[in-house]
Structure 1
Amino acid sequence: MHEFAYIYLQNLPTYTTLSLLIPSSNHHSKIIKKKNKQQEAMDQRFSSCRGVSFEIQPHRDPFAIDAPRASQKSWLPWGSSKRIVPSGSVFSRSTSKASSHFCDVDTDNEDDDDSVLINIEEGYELDNNSLLPISNSVHEQLPKAPSKKLVLKQNKPKESRLSVILLDQGLFTVYKRLFMVCMTLNITGLVLAATGQFPYARNHATVFSIGNLLALTLCRSEAFLRIVFWLAVKVLGHSWVPLHLKTATTSLLQSLGGIHSSCGVSSVMWLTYSLILTLKDRDNTSNLIIAVASTILSLLCLSSLAAFPLVRHLHHNVFERTHRFAGWTGLILLWAFIVLTESYDPNTDTYKKDIGSRLVKSQEFWLTLAVTILIIIPWVTVRRVAVEVSAPSGHASIIRFAGGVKPGILGRISPSPMSEWHAFGIISDGKKEHMMLAGAVGDFTKSLVSNPPSHLWVRQVHFAGLPYLVNMYNRVLVVATGSGICVFLSFLLQRGPAEVCLLWVAKGIEQNFGKEIKEWVSGHPEDRVIVHDTAVMGRPNVSEMSVAAAKKWGAEVVIVTSNPEGSRDVVDACKSKGIPAFGPIWDS
């Protein structure tokens, strides 16, 4: 009798077995019955692993949602990870955390009865109930104690987003190497000038300071970089060009921010040195010139401090406005400084009016003129244009503009051009219109959903970034999560020089992104477009999926657009398998 009862209990569902073994109240019985119904419905098509559901036999249509799924209750202030899985073969959950990055879109209408709360922000899992969902096999087993590895993972301290951005991307990245090379050259020149071994630099310290300002402006000039990226694709975008030369160029163009930031610090050093020399020779200058130079130095220091990673990360609007207005004020004062120094006569302690010929011969004049032109160019193209904003869901909006755009191009929009600008990838078929897909994660992007504007400010000169360099290669795997898909959709709508395979992970494709985008990505062969809807198939390991898809596609390079953690994981996984990979970097 006891043996029969034991066998009977062995073949009962886990929650039923527990209900027989553990005394409970009527309330608990209702909960257990509810769990049993959910378990029976899910066992036909789903397996569960610590509260995350994975489809055992995925639909041929990755967008179909015709079976109940395990409900989830999570602490997701920013949104859950979006992952793509080829052939449904990868079932492990990604180690990447979700973020407030624009590529993350999530929904809020999750059920409240799941047994595990996944605290993505903190990077560990919190058990809400001692009962874990267990697959309904022939011999059910009670939950085992967590392994040491899992305990260590759960007790892992919170990983700072800033540490991921600055440290986890590597101590010897191309960005940091460019920073150090540029800084070393400037420090070497400064030391030689101070020791009297570089007389030209000693006598023209201001020229070196303005020269660094010109270099940093070029590294951020969208018009100049559009030409540079176009030339790179035209010159290197041939099949006979060695792959290592293409990837080296991609790394360099992606990391120009290292030169920008290094030149900013170097300009402060050279101007400080110039001011020290001026103070030592006060008899040949005026107090007004010293005051203007000191103010310019103060503004450069302020801009550099505002761009310090910690400040920029925590207070981006402060950084952006300080950088802009301090830069403009410093440029105006720089013109005043040049005019004053060229017109000042130390013999009479007066300022001459006829200085045109002297200005033309001044190196400082031409360098400052070049900086001024580069800064003005994007602003003369600013226009207020009519837009059509639609919101497929409360988590994303689609902004439509007139005019077609080439693939891989990005644009900037603003509700108030003097205060803030936001960059988005552009979706276009190259004909009559183009669109931007904006995930609602910040004040501005949320306002696009809640209060759609009829007009927005735009810069008519669009700029090129990392996605544009897809055109340089022959076969490319592009990986996107959430609304990061927008920058790659144009490669599906327009045939380019590169053969592109898209790997996209998002949650609730049609619900969050609309029927139009769903149709765009579903109208292609499965070997070219792989879509993973986490609402149906759960959260996969994007890194493993990317490696598998890259090998299957025969990709020369992988380009990913995700949050910093997700991009880092994909890039590292691909590189470990010998596949060149690139993703967004800090200050790229």
Structure 2
Amino acid sequence: MSHAVHGFYVRIQEVGNTARGPSEQVTSRSTSDGSKYGSGYDDTAFCFGSVDEADCATPESRQICQVPQSRCESSSSRTSFHAFMCSSAKEWRATISIQQHSGRSVEKNITLPRHRQKDFSSDIDFGLRKFKGSTTKFGSPSIPSGYNPLEGLPLLIMESRCLATLLEKGLESNATSTASLPSQVTSLAEEKSQPLLITCPLPAERVDEKPFRKLRHAILTVYYRLFTLVIVANIIGLVFIDHRHRDNTSYVKIISSAASGNLFVAVAMRQDYIINFLCEVFAATPKSTPLRIRRILAKVFEFGGVHSSAAICSTAWFVRLAIHLTVSFENGNLRNIPVLALAYVLLLLFTAIVVFAHPKIRQKNHNTFERIHRFAGWMCSMIFWTLIVLTAKALSEAPGAEHTPIYILIRLPSFWLLSLNTIHSVVPWLRLRRWEATPEVMSPHALRLHLKANIADFYTIRISDSPLSEWHSFACFVDARPRNGSTNSVVISRAGDWTAKTIADPKPFYWTRGLPTRGVLYMSLIFRSVVLVTTGSGIGPCLNLLAMNPSTRPSVRVFWSTPNPLKTFGAEIVGNVRAADPNAVIWDTRQFGRPDMAAVTWQLLKESGAEAVFCISNPKVTKLVIYAMESRGVAAYGPIFDS
């Protein structure tokens, strides 16, 4: 026989606090028919359950929703109850009384220190489910959607619509186990860490075999598909050249041209104007274009795969050139020792650049990577010029040569490719500028720089306080409230030595070079609706999209996970997020702990019916969210972190 719960009585109070009288304690009790659900709160505790309005301890009590009396009287009914303590006391005491239709009741008293909240909830859960034959489930019928920062306590605001939805679902079923209701029946500790009710659990990944799914979405991403395509094309070229009979002179020209060509592609794919051109072309795609095509075009930011693979192939061609020159020297066909020596020096520098650009080495030694990339790159350019000139001179002195060194030089493909590379290297430094900055320290972990820059939306800038040392990229957004004539802002959060130093000691000006480049969120404009997922200062790039006129941008749902959003980033930024998406999920990790990024993203995706997900976060979270979405058939995009 089923012993369903007829009513229950709960009292939450502080332990050892003599300053408060009984009237200041929060008491919640069910009526006999269990038809009313309400909440009461004061500065001691905040709880709600099945209560009578007359039993609430404060006048702020309000009715949340009605549940049909007939359902509550059913012998197979299911009741959910949640008590959320916001007290600053060192201990809590909870008294729970459960009454069955048969008249039998059981009472549970619990006292626990504040720091053991998870155990506290587990004890209550055990106390309810322990009662033999009871179908009661201890759960969380609410969504904490925000908090009142003026109260001094993390006072959660309960959404009546979601409470009613949960109670309706809970009362409709009498046979579902707790394990099968992970979104509706959770412990107290889980409720505190979930400001969003997950009604659409993350489904299983697509039904194809797991190794192939991993291969497609985790290994062979668009970035690595482009990477592989360039590598394969160069391998085919090398095989073709090596198996074709050529004399020594023409072979050297072809090998050096192949090395120069790959180097040109690698450098070109990092130029601001080329990046902006590609983005403008792809972002012009009309929304009427089939979604499948738009999903592919939005991957334009994976072009970094071409840069890295071309650089590796250029190094490989130099290896082949060095081997050929060495063999020629041993055979007596090459007598020019400086040419051979410079070829090996150049090969050594290229190898150092490639090795330190490896993702793991780059992440651990980013400053070293950046300096080697810059200074070794400049040295490579100078040595390459010297090598080409000496090669042209050597070819003009070869037996049977009929042309001058200048004539041979200007007919070498390497000469023109290297000329373009040199221009690409010099032009960004011709645009070196010093911008005035008005620092706004938002917290010990975040800084906002107000800049006089006149930059449009969706651009990223590189700034530095020491131009020859290191550069850092930040998304730039338009200042809604200018300071000292500022036009744009960047948000810097503590993520390393340079950011920590900048937050602690901001400068009145910063250097920038090159053109501002389009950011990944620019491609969100080709979609009708998107979900923005971000953590920490990643909200900065998102502000460009959120500040747009709703009629010109896609509809947006926002999921922002960050510690102490108001304290860290200020009311203005939080207000901007709320203005663009009133139902934005702003997850305070100090209060709720770290969220399940994939689960919350999926929930917002299903609620909004969005066409794509854009994640702006650190590499770990970005890869996690993108894989979780793409492996379930959802278009997802984010930074590629390859520089």
Query: TM-score scaled by structure 2?
Result: 0.65
Select 1:543's aligned residue among 598, 607, 620.
598
C-alpha separation in 2, matches of 1:341 and 1:223: 33
* 1:423 aligned counterpart, secondary structure: strand
Aligned residues: 471
Change (3 A) 1:525 1:52: farther
Report whether the alignment pairs 1:438 with 2:481.
no
Would you say the 8 A contact 1:428–1:490 is kept in 2?
yes
Quote the residue 1:584 is aligned against.
639
Report whether the alignment pairs 1:569 with 2:624.
yes
* Offset, 1:364: 0.9
Change (3 A) 1:537 1:332: same
The correspondence of residues 57-96 of structure 1 with structure 2, limited to 5 A, is: 64=149, 66=151, 68-69=153-154
> Residue type of the partner of 1:211?
G
* 2:460 aligned counterpart, secondary structure: strand
* Offset, 1:51: 9.5
Report whether the alignment pairs 1:233 with 2:283.
yes
Report whether the alignment pairs 1:259 with 2:306.
yes
Report whether the alignment pairs 1:514 with 2:562.
no
> Residue type of the partner of 2:467?
P
C-alpha separation in 2, matches of 1:378 and 1:441: 26
* Offset, 1:571: 2.1
Report whether the alignment pairs 1:393 with 2:443.
yes
C-alpha separation in 2, matches of 1:460 and 1:51: 57
C-alpha separation in 2, matches of 1:51 and 1:322: 55
Quote the residue 2:501 is aligned against.
447
Change (3 A) 1:134 1:307: closer
Change (3 A) 1:50 1:210: farther
Task: Tell me the alpha carbon deviations over residues 375-396 of structure 1, each in whole angstroms, 9 at most, x when there is no partner.
Answer: 2222211212211111111010
Select 1:324's aligned residue among 362, 374, 384.
374
Select 1:268's aligned residue among 302, 315, 319.
315
Quote the residue 1:128 is aligned against.
none
Task: Tell me the alpha carbon deviations over residues 230-287 of structure 1, each in whole angstroms, 9 at most, x when there is no partner.
Answer: 11112x2x02222222221223x23222222222221122112222223333434511
Paired-residue identity, %: 26
* 1:514 aligned counterpart, secondary structure: helix
Would you say the 8 A contact 1:387–1:454 is kept in 2?
yes
Quote the residue 2:225 is aligned against.
177
Bigger relative contact order, structure 1 or 2 (CA pairs below 8 A, ≥6 apart): 1
Quote the residue 1:119 is aligned against.
none
> Residue type of the partner of 1:277?
H
Change (3 A) 1:168 1:35: farther
* 2:435 aligned counterpart, secondary structure: strand
Deviates more, 1:552-561 or 1:282-291: 282-291
Structure 2 gap ranges (5+): 1-8, 16-87, 97-110, 123-138, 164-186, 192-213
Quote the residue 1:422 is aligned against.
472
Would you say the 8 A contact 2:227–2:308 is kept in 1?
yes
Structure 1 gap ranges (5+): 1-9, 17-31, 71-84, 90-131, 137-165
Would you say the 8 A contact 1:63–1:509 is kept in 2?
no
Quote the residue 2:524 is aligned against.
470
Task: Tell me the alpha carbon deviations over residues 370-429 of structure 1, each in whole angstroms, 9 at most, x when there is no partner.
Answer: 111122222211212211111111010001111333322111111111111111111215
C-alpha separation in 2, matches of 1:197 and 1:51: 81
* 2:92 aligned counterpart, secondary structure: helix
C-alpha separation in 2, matches of 1:212 and 1:319: 21
Select 1:249's aligned residue among 297, 306, 328.
297
Would you say the 8 A contact 2:10–2:94 is kept in 1?
no
Task: Tell me the alpha carbon deviations over residues 447-479 of structure 1, each in whole angstroms, 9 at most, x when there is no partner.
Answer: 222212111111251112322211222222211
C-alpha separation in 2, matches of 1:489 and 1:51: 40
* Offset, 1:487: 0.4
Deviates more, 1:51-60 or 1:225-234: 51-60
> Residue type of the partner of 2:306?
I
Would you say the 8 A contact 1:15–1:36 is kept in 2?
yes
* Offset, 1:533: 3.0
> Residue type of the partner of 1:222?
D
* Offset, 1:352: 12
Change (3 A) 1:352 1:481: farther
C-alpha separation in 2, matches of 1:289 and 1:222: 34
Change (3 A) 1:443 1:343: same
* 1:281 aligned counterpart, secondary structure: helix
Quote the residue 1:526 is aligned against.
582
- Bigger-Rg structure (1/2): 2
Report whether the alignment pairs 1:555 with 2:610.
yes
Quote the residue 2:434 is aligned against.
384
Quote the residue 2:543 is aligned against.
489
Would you say the 8 A contact 1:192–1:198 is kept in 2?
no
Deviates more, 1:267-276 or 1:574-583: 574-583
* Offset, 1:217: 1.0
> Residue type of the partner of 2:151?
D
Select 1:374's aligned residue among 424, 430, 438.
424
Would you say the 8 A contact 1:229–1:464 is kept in 2?
yes
Task: Tell me the alpha carbon deviations over residues 518-563 of structure 1, each in whole angstroms, 9 at most, x when there is no partner.
Answer: 2322334525x44333345554322222112122222111101122
Would you say the 8 A contact 1:179–1:259 is kept in 2?
yes
Would you say the 8 A contact 2:535–2:562 is kept in 1?
yes
* Offset, 1:171: 2.4
Change (3 A) 1:342 1:39: farther
* Offset, 1:441: 2.5
* Offset, 1:201: 6.5
Report whether the alignment pairs 1:195 with 2:243.
yes
Would you say the 8 A contact 2:260–2:414 is kept in 1?
yes
